[in-house]
Amino acid sequence: MSDPKYHALDWSQEGVPQSRIFDDPFYSRNDGRAETTYVFLDGNGLPGRWAGAATFSVGELGFGTGLNFLETWRAWNECREPGQVLLFTSFEKFPLQGDEITRAISVWPELAPLCDALVERWQVAGALGQVWQLDYQTRLQIVVGDALEGLSNWVGAADAWYLDGFSPAKNPDMWEADLMQAVFDHTVAGGTFATYTAAGWVRRNLQAAGFEITKRPGHAGKREMMVGRRSG
């Protein structure tokens, strides 16, 4: 793989990275970790849906700082049963540098050991993009490049999707119809997605792709977010 184009960042006073490319923060300034739990885990019925599954596949659009992954891995470590395997696949065009991931996640000491394990892999030359066996029940792959291209070539299917591009107004490519169709096509029957946005045109793209959509109250006073399901 050729060297990726790394993300150019600014930092808020609270330690939240902000994209210079998209002029948008990577997560809520109002406790990003709580937002991850509320929007992406609860929104997909996790950890409850892990019970009894031999393998569970999570797909994500936008790896960013890895906050969503690290919080999922932390919850997984608490709930998993012997022999179960979590596969986490994230599509990311502009990766952060390892030390930037450490800086962002340092706000949450509970995630520090997992973050250290992630960054140790991250900094091995040529390792980004490979499947990482992070522990004997957890596999992570970050597919580097444009999400639509990466997902079109992906042979997997997810039980749960985290749709986490920057805001639709600032990063429309991450919400466009072809990509939402590719997400649906790579979702198992009965699989779900969750996202913090409830933008009308994004909802219509997801509906046209085939998802049944439900709106929920958003995190920390945001009016609405969306969850959806592929029936079957």
Ligand X SMILES: C[S@@+](CC[C@H](N)C(=O)[O-])C[C@H]1O[C@@H](n2cnc3c(N)ncnc32)[C@H](O)[C@@H]1O
Q: Which residues bind ligand X (CB under 6 A)?
A: 7, 26-27, 62-68, 91-94, 146-147, 164-166, 171, 173-174
CA angle 132, 137, 143 (to 5 degrees): 30
Closest to 213 in 3D by CA, of 176, 221, 204: 204
- CA separation for the pair 194, 27 (Å, rounded): 15
Q: How far is the CB of 51 from ligand X (least distance, A)?
A: 25
- Our CB check for ligand X shows the closer of 51 and 112 to be 112
In which element (H, E) is residue 18 found? strand 17-19
- Our CB check for ligand X shows the closer of 14 and 212 to be 14
Q: How far is the CB of 13 from ligand X (least distance, A)?
A: 18
- CA separation for the pair 47, 59 (Å, rounded): 15
Q: How far is the CB of 11 from ligand X (least distance, A)?
A: 14
DSSP for 53-116?
-SEEEEEEE--TTSHHHHHHHHHHHHH--TT-EEEEEEEESSPPPHHHHHHHHTT-GGGHHHHH
- Our CB check for ligand X shows the closer of 174 and 209 to be 174
Q: Tokens standing for 172?
A: 């429309």
Q: How far is the CB of 219 from ligand X (least distance, A)?
A: 14
Q: How far is the CB of 186 from ligand X (least distance, A)?
A: 14
- Our CB check for ligand X shows the closer of 49 and 173 to be 173
Please check whether residue 193 is in contact with residue 183, taking contact to mean a CB–CB distance below 8 angstroms: yes
- CA separation for the pair 43, 160 (Å, rounded): 9
- Our CB check for ligand X shows the closer of 61 and 209 to be 61
- Our CB check for ligand X shows the closer of 27 and 50 to be 27
CB atoms within 10 A of CB 208: 12
Q: How far is the CB of 94 from ligand X (least distance, A)?
A: 4
